[in-house]
């Protein structure tokens, strides 16, 4: 998981291929169909970096059972690019994400991610905050 966090915080393609299986399947709320392999994950990272160029994920805690890891992250960044059609606001965000990772042979073969997209949309001013 530490190498994976290094990958998502740098977008390093070589590291992506080291930690993510070529046949991995990722379910992201930003995409209606599953993404596949390192290139699929790089697509999500690219989308996030185009909207939040300084985005960083902090791994707050993990719980592991067998080949499954539950991970809670804090995602922080500055909204300096378009995000789901919302123009850059310059606002900073700090939201949580809960993800499940499935591992085999020391590599990620799947993920189901649940970032706090409502929190992101509120913090960038797209949705009124309560």
Q: Is 60 exposed, middle or buried (0-12, 13-18, 19+ CB in 10 A)?
A: exposed
Contact between 74 and 96 (Cβ < 8 Å): yes
Q: Give the residue-averaged pLDDT of 9-37.
A: 94
Q: Give the residue-averaged pLDDT of 40-61.
A: 96
Tell me: the pLDDT tens digits for 85-111?
999 999 999 999 999 999 999 999 999
Q: Give the residue-averaged pLDDT of 107-129.
A: 95
Q: Give the residue-averaged pLDDT of 23-48.
A: 93
Closest CA to 47 of 39, 108, 36: 39
At 129 the pLDDT is 84
Contact between 109 and 119 (Cβ < 8 Å): no
Does pLDDT of 8 surpass 90?
yes
Q: Where are the beta strands (DSSP E) in the chain?
A: 20-27, 35-36, 56-65, 68-78, 92-104, 107-115
């Amino acid at each position: 998981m530490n190498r994976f966090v290094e990958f998502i915080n740098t977008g390093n393609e070589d590291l992506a291929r080291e930690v993510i299986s070529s046949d991995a399947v990722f379910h992201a709320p930003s995409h209606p169909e599953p993404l596949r392999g390192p290139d699929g994950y790089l697509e999500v990272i690219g989308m996030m970096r185009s909207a939040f160029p300084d985005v960083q994920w902090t791994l707050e805690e993990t719980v592991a059972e067998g080949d499954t890891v539950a991970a809670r992250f804090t995602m922080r960044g500055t909204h300096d690019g378009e995000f789901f059609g919302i123009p850059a606001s310059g606002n900073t965000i700090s939201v949580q994400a809960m993800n499940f990772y499935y591992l085999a042979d020391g590599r990620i073969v799947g993920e189901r991610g649940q970032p706090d997209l409502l929190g992101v949309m509120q913090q960038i001013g797209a949705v009124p905050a309560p």
